[in-house]
Amino acid sequence: MGFINPNPFTTRPEIEGTFGVVASTHWIATAVGMGMLERGGNAFDAAVATAFTLQVVEPHLNGPGGDVPVILYDAKRGKPEVICGQGPAPAGATIEHYRELGLDLIPGTGLLAACIPGTFDTYMRLLRDYGSMPLRDVLEPALGYARNGYPLVERICATIGTVEALFCEHWPTSAAVYLPNGRVPEPGDIFANRVLADTYERILRDAENVSGREAQIERARQMWSQGFVAEEIDRFCRTEAVMDTSGAPHRGILTADDMAGWESTVEDPIAFDYGRYTVLKCGPWNQGLVALQQLALLKGFELDGLDPAGPDFIHLQVEAAKLAFADRDTFYGDPNFVPVPVETLLSGAYNDLRRKLIGNRASLELRPGTIPGFGKAIDARAAEGRRVAVAATGAGEPTVGRVWTHDDDDDPALEGALAATGAVRGDTVHFDIIDRQGNMISATPSGGWLQSSPVIPALGFCLGTRAQQFWLDPEHPAALMPGKRPRTTLSPTMALREGEPYLVWGSPGGDQQDQWIPQFFLRHVHARMNLQEAIDAPAWHTEHFPSSFWPRTSRPGVVVVESRVPKGTVDELRRRGHIVEVGDAWSEGRLTAASRDGVRRRAAANPRGMQGYAAGR
């Protein structure tokens, strides 16, 4: 049985080579990563150089103050591993502290939402333990672009434009960096962040005062977490009261002691067998398990032969997503603090019961499972009713939000306010790399966006806001607690095929990441689409469940599809009870992917947004 494939790009080839491949959400970063491979570096050297470059050339999507989960396969070790670069909550981040401030949600911007920055330490661990190149070699490309400038893409300028008033009125340190000459820059302008370049140059100079590659990397880690970087972060949080989405200014609670007391960790991934594939994800401090739960539910349906843009395929995937995300919001949390029933959530018996809830009609309810002794369901009604008019404060996952245009929304003031949140298409960053030795890596860096909090003037970057993904309910598995990791949406993916490392992929997109990730996989596996075809095919997402980001809104029953989804499919989905909104033709996701098959290396990148790129030779 073959798929009926409506994708007009069925003949689009993947990038292919034997030396190595790099796929990233920005063309400059892709070129930097490929350059590292060509200079003799391995996939992990290329990953570090790519990651630092992405912080410079996509500052509206990630930054040094953010976080990153990494999933990798080291050919020498012969096993897949996860590096957790999700920093935890500071010691002063207690539910009581936020309640005393009169808050029922952690703000979506500002200093109160900052976790310990996780990216720098993660990249240093990756370089030290898995890479081969000197620190200066992998950091110099990013340093050069920060000092000498790079051409701005349109979305950076648009994002700065949405928060221009915020910068001018409340965040002058950000205005000093991102409003050069007192105006929003134009696409194509050459933009530099020389203070950030000075920060990295100072770290390099100090690191090179000691001898030996590993010693220099360790010295750089110390400069970050115990040296001038931590001191400046501490000073800024103590002395600056910063406007945030609560409508009031607040000081931060992140300290130098918090920075000094944390480092990234290496963990085993969670695995789920799907036919001849084993799909790997990060632990339940991460939402990645929700993709595996969707596969566990869909494993019970015959997907071969279904049109991947047809109503049956989309209906099944959307309904499975609704059930899996309801479980996410009920059971997931940092396993160092709360028990998470991972084995049960992926078990055949549990999913046999859950699968029976998927009928021919769209569900309009949030329906988590019941596992005695575990979890706590959220109040979905509160989330549904949280119709908050948001000022231009850059809240949420930076560029994944949509203006509410549902026909029943008759509040134009609300719609206009939501349009001013800085929420534009695409978000976060992602990259996938495979080298000739067979090393593989997938990473989704995010946080520390230029619109998340003010620039720390001595460092040239701002802090992240991942703490907004905690709940202020002490009984919930994802409740805020000092030292605890937030249940992040960042979700890189790896798959083995018949036991051999085969595929790495992922996408920016907040809650949508683990909807687009299984869609891509199912098209590749069941439709036999190559990587590029599976990325290009029409896509969709549901907004049925509460968002992971402030202000935690939900839109029960809503499915957003690209206009390339056939009209007949849209009509049938609506007949089945889905509230279907039709978006632009190329508006869903920013997937990249890379695979290895014997000596062949393949890669593909997303045409959506017109800045992703894949390279190889």
| pLDDT value for 393 | 55
Backbone angles phi, psi at 69, to 5 degrees: -95, 145
**How far is it, in rounded angstroms, from Cα 491 to Cα 513?**
7
| pLDDT value for 402 | 41
Backbone angles phi, psi at 54, to 5 degrees: -60, -35
Residues 244-292 have pLDDT tens digits of: 999 999 999 999 999 999 999 999 999 999 999 999 999 999 999 999 9
| pLDDT value for 38 | 96
Report the 10 Å Cβ neighbour count for 192.
Answer: 16
Distances in whole angstroms, Cα of residue 193 to Cα of each of 148, 177, 418, 456, 515: 8, 7, 29, 12, 35
| pLDDT value for 384 | 54
Report the 10 Å Cβ neighbour count for 49.
Answer: 30
Report the 10 Å Cβ neighbour count for 226.
Answer: 15
| pLDDT value for 418 | 35
If you write DSSP's letter for every residue of 256-298 in order, what string do you get?
HHHHHT---EEEPPEEEEETTEEEEE--TTBTTHHHHHHHHHH
Query: Is residue 304 pLDDT above 60, yes or no?
Result: yes
**How far is it, in rounded angstroms, from Cα 464 to Cα 447?**
5
43 and 76 Cβ atoms separated by less than 8 Å: no
How far is C-alpha 479 from the chain's CA centre? 20
**How far is it, in rounded angstroms, from Cα 366 to Cα 387?**
18
| pLDDT value for 428 | 87
Residues 9-55 have pLDDT tens digits of: 445 788 898 899 999 999 999 999 999 999 999 999 999 999 999 99
**What's the number of CA atoms in the CB half-sphere (13 Å) around residue 114?**
32
Report the 10 Å Cβ neighbour count for 582.
Answer: 16
Average pLDDT for the chain: 91
**How far is it, in rounded angstroms, from Cα 42 to Cα 434?**
8
Q: What is the Cα gyration radius of the chain?
A: 22
**Strand 579-583 relative to strand 558-562: parallel, antiparallel, unpaired?**
parallel
**How far is it, in rounded angstroms, from Cα 200 to Cα 53?**
12
User: Could you give the 3-state DSSP secondary structure of residue 132?
Assistant: coil
| pLDDT value for 358 | 98
**How far is it, in rounded angstroms, from Cα 238 to Cα 362?**
50
Sign of the Cα pseudo-torsion (176, 203, 444, 108, in order): negative
Query: Is residue 390 pLDDT above 50, yes or no?
Result: no
- The pLDDT-based confidence of 425 (bands split at 50, 70, 90) is very low
User: Could you give the 3-state DSSP secondary structure of residue 382?
Assistant: helix
Residues 395-409 have pLDDT tens digits of: 655 544 443 333 333
Give, for 517, the enclosing helix (H) or strand (E): helix 513-526
Distances in whole angstroms, Cα of residue 503 to Cα of each of 79, 158, 321, 442, 594: 14, 34, 22, 9, 6
Residues 106-162 have pLDDT tens digits of: 999 999 999 999 999 999 999 999 999 999 999 999 999 999 999 999 999 999 999
Q: Which residues have CB under 8 Å from 49's CB, separation 6+?
A: 32, 33, 35, 36, 41, 137, 138, 139, 141, 142
| pLDDT value for 136 | 97
Backbone angles phi, psi at 506, to 5 degrees: 175, 180
Residues 515-569 have pLDDT tens digits of: 999 999 999 999 999 999 999 999 999 999 999 999 999 999 999 999 999 999 9
Helix axes 135-148, 43-57, angle to 10 degrees: 20
**What's the number of CA atoms in the CB half-sphere (13 Å) around residue 545?**
25
| pLDDT value for 134 | 98
Residues 343-388 have pLDDT tens digits of: 999 999 999 999 999 999 999 999 999 999 999 998 766 555 554 4
Mean pLDDT across 450-469: 97
